[in-house]
Amino acid sequence: MRNAIIDSDTASDDTIAILLSSRLFNLVGITIVAGNVSYEQEVKNALFTVEYFNIKSPVFLGSSRPIMGKWRTVEEVHGKNGMGDWDYGEPSVKPEREHAVDAIIRLSKEYDNLEVLAVSPLTNLALAYLKDPSIVKRIKKVWIMGGAFSRGNTTPIAEFNFWVDPEAASIVLNAGFDITIVPWEVTEEYAYVDDDFWSKIEGLKSRASEFFIRANRALREYSKSHGQKGSVQTDSFTVFLAHDQSAILKKESHHVNVETCSSARGAMLVDWYGLNGKPNAEIVLKGDRDKFVNFLLSVLSS
């Protein structure tokens, strides 16, 4: 199994990404970063997720804010606690003492060919790189869920993860990592859970499907009220494509940067025509929805 860390701002869809990554990779760490809901709540959600699914990977606390600027949490998307208001009690699993930034650096030395599944704002990874730039040589691959071509889900132009910490995104994109980006619109097109898929998951009546339904209920309502077909499982889709690259049906390499100023803050800047620079990232343009749906159903049936 490939070695991986998942970096998460744990709320609804992130929890399923954590579950999938624990099944598909040798998951050597789960690092938590500021994003979706209050930091404390994200940590609690991650600890509950690992406890519920009996995932043995250590949870490390990282940055509780972006590098610069203000951001807002999005309880309206995920529910007040980020878990569809599921009152799941207090998890008994505890986080590690080591800081996530130090853990990323250490794990990159301990595990060959370590990959990072970044389904979150990129603050932790940017800080790890600033502390030890040599991680670029040791981390084999960075998978990023982030960026929108033009249909921003947080501002008219910006996707949430890039918008929360555009400075961090810019640092990571320009650091020299081997990067694959799974942008918002691609996940919206291939990783949505519409009513039909939702009923199939509900019909599984397993522990995992019950978790999925409860944790993603608010996201579903929010997404449907905003013109989407249902909850978009962006983070899980990214983890799935990282594992099964035959499910990436179209991709292109381009230079990608992130706008950090004004009302376009967080916008993904793709140099489609190679006007300014060499490619620094691969961008997924099409994914295999059927494979993803079947895989998710098989994991959730247990």
Ligand X SMILES: O=c1[nH]cnc2c1ncn2[C@@H]1O[C@H](CO)[C@@H](O)[C@H]1O
224, HSE (Cβ side, Cα atoms, 13 Å): 11
Look at phi and psi of residue 14 and say left if phi exceeds 0, alpha if psi is from -120 to 50, else beta.
alpha
- Considering only 43, 107, 114, 119, the residue that binds ligand X (CB under 6 A) is 119
235 binds ligand X (CB under 6 A): yes
Nearest Cα residue to 213 out of 13, 19, 37, 35: 13
Q: Measured from the CB atom, is 111 or 165 closer to ligand X?
A: 165
Least separation in angstroms between CB 110 and ligand X: 27
Least separation in angstroms between CB 155 and ligand X: 11
Pairing of strands 248-258, 281-287: antiparallel
126 binds ligand X (CB under 6 A): no
Least separation in angstroms between CB 106 and ligand X: 25
Judged by CB under 6 A, the chain residues 51 through 110 that form the site for ligand X are: 74, 77
Burial (Cβ within 10 Å: 0-12, 13-18, ≥19) of residue 196? exposed
- Considering only 232, 241, 281, 300, the residue that binds ligand X (CB under 6 A) is 232
236 binds ligand X (CB under 6 A): no
Least separation in angstroms between CB 36 and ligand X: 5
Nearest Cα residue to 37 out of 7, 68, 14, 58: 14
Question: What character string, x for contact with ligand X (CB under 6 A) and - otherwise, covers 14-33?
Answer: x-------------------
Least separation in angstroms between CB 162 and ligand X: 8
By rule CB under 6 A, what count of residues binds ligand X? 16
Query: Which residue's structure tokens are 């519409």?
Result: 194
Least separation in angstroms between CB 13 and ligand X: 5
- Considering only 15, 36, 209, 236, the residue that binds ligand X (CB under 6 A) is 36
Least separation in angstroms between CB 203 and ligand X: 24
Judged by CB under 6 A, the chain residues 133 through 172 that form the site for ligand X are: 145, 153, 159-161
Closest residue to ligand X: CB criterion: 160
Site residues for ligand X per CB under 6 A: 11, 13-14, 36, 74, 77, 119, 145, 153, 159-161, 184, 232, 234-235
